[in-house]
């Protein structure tokens, strides 16, 4: 019995696709702004798909940032369904990624930023190869304890805005330790500060993406 059609779940080899999900205001766009120069300095050809909730705000912000060719940033207008467009029906995002692949044949990596969501969002593996979930200390130190599919199922949990932890009465060390304990051994958690002159964790995130994705097709 053939369970799948012969070419099901296959797509042509192309750039790795990384999903970046997380609640509204957790710093997903800021993290992308911090990651872009790191990848560029390493010679990684990059493009970005944004899924703004109801506007093109995030795409315009990246396009105007001067960090990346504006043509390499595409906004998917998908309405107020941030879950749907990355999980149940990711076809609009798939089409956007395919458009970028067609226009920039040398791409190594496409970052797909989800619209701001809650702790339940997850990415379809039809759309991405690997995804991270971004929360921040400002949401409270109990966020990891609440678990949720986003925190538990992502390939990497990023806890952002470590620099403001003392101002919101959160212990950065404690929240990182609790997140690691909740996710279990071998499930990475990286603390991050992606704004300001003293960034933290950004290079480690880039390292992980490169290790897990960009070297996967190197022949033995």
Partner 1 sequence: MSAHSLALIRLLQVSDTAFPSGAFAFSSGLETLFNEGRVTKPEGVQAVLAEQILPRWASFDRVFLHAAHAAAGDLSKLSEIDARCHLQSSSDRLAHASRRIGRSLLSVHARIGTPGAAAYRSHADQPDLREARSYEPVMQGLIGAGLGLNVTQCELGAVHSTCMAFVSAAVRLGRLGAIEAQGLLAATAPRILATLEQPVPQLAGAFSPFAEIAALRRNTTQAVLFAT
Structure tokens at 95: 């089409």
Binding mask 76-95 vs partner 1 (x if CB under 8 A, - otherwise)? -xxxxx--xx--xxxxx-xx
When the beta carbons of 88 and 207 are compared against partner 1, the nearer one is 88
Q: Which stretch binds partner 1 (CB under 8 A): 32-40, 72-80, 131-139, 163-171?
A: 72-80
Q: Closer to partner 1 by CB, 84 or 199: give it.
A: 84
Euclidean distance between CA atoms 213 and 195, whole angstroms? 25
Does the protein bind partner 1 through residue 64 (CB under 8 A)?
no
Pick 45 or 126: Cβ nearer partner 1: 126
Q: Closest approach of Cβ 113 to partner 1, in Å?
A: 17
Where are the alpha helices (H) located in 5-143, listed in sequence order? 28-41, 57-63, 82-86, 91-103
Does position 7 bind partner 1 by CB under 8 A?
A: yes
* CA–CA gap between residue 128 and residue 17 (Å, rounded): 5
Within 10 angstroms of residue 211's Cβ, the number of other Cβ atoms is 10
Element housing 173 (H / E): helix 172-183
Q: Which stretch binds partner 1 (CB under 8 A): 32-40, 49-57, 66-74, 131-139?
A: 49-57
Contact between residue 208 and residue 156 where contact means Cβ atoms under 8 Å apart: yes
Residue 13 engages partner 1 in binding (rule: CB under 8 A)? no
Given the structure tokens 């986003």, which residue do they identify? 150
Q: Does 98 sit near partner 1 (CB under 8 A)?
A: yes
Backbone angles phi, psi at 122, to 5 degrees: -140, 160
Q: Does 55 bind partner 1 (CB under 8 A)?
A: yes
Contacts to partner 1 by CB under 8 A: 5-11, 53-55, 77-81, 84-85, 88-92, 94-95, 98-99, 102, 126
């Amino acid at each position: 019995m053939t369970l799948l059609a012969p070419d099901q779940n296959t797509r042509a080899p192309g750039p790795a696709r990384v999903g970046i999900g997380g609640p509204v205001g957790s710093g997903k766009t800021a993290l992308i702004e911090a990651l872009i120069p790191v990848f560029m300095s390493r010679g990684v050809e990059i493009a970005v798909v944004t899924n703004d909730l109801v506007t093109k705000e995030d795409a315009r912000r990246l396009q105007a940032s001067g960090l990346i060719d504006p043509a390499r940033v595409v906004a998917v207008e998908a309405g107020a369904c941030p879950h749907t467009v990355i999980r149940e029906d990711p076809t609009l995002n798939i089409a956007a990624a395919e458009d970028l692949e067609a226009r920039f044949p040398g791409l190594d990596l496409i970052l797909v930023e989800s619209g701001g969501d809650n702790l339940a969002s997850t990415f379809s593996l039809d759309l991405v190869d690997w995804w991270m979930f971004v929360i921040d200390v400002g949401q409270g130190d109990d966020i990891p304890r609440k678990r949720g599919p986003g925190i538990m199922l992502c390939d990497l949990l990023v806890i952002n805005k470590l620099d403001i932890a003392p101002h919101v009465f959160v212990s950065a060390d404690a929240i990182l330790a609790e997140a690691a304990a909740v996710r279990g051994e071998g499930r990475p958690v990286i603390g991050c500060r992606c704004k300001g002159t003293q960034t933290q964790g950004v290079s480690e995130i880039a390292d992980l993406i490169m290790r897990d994705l960009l070297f996967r097709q190197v022949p033995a």
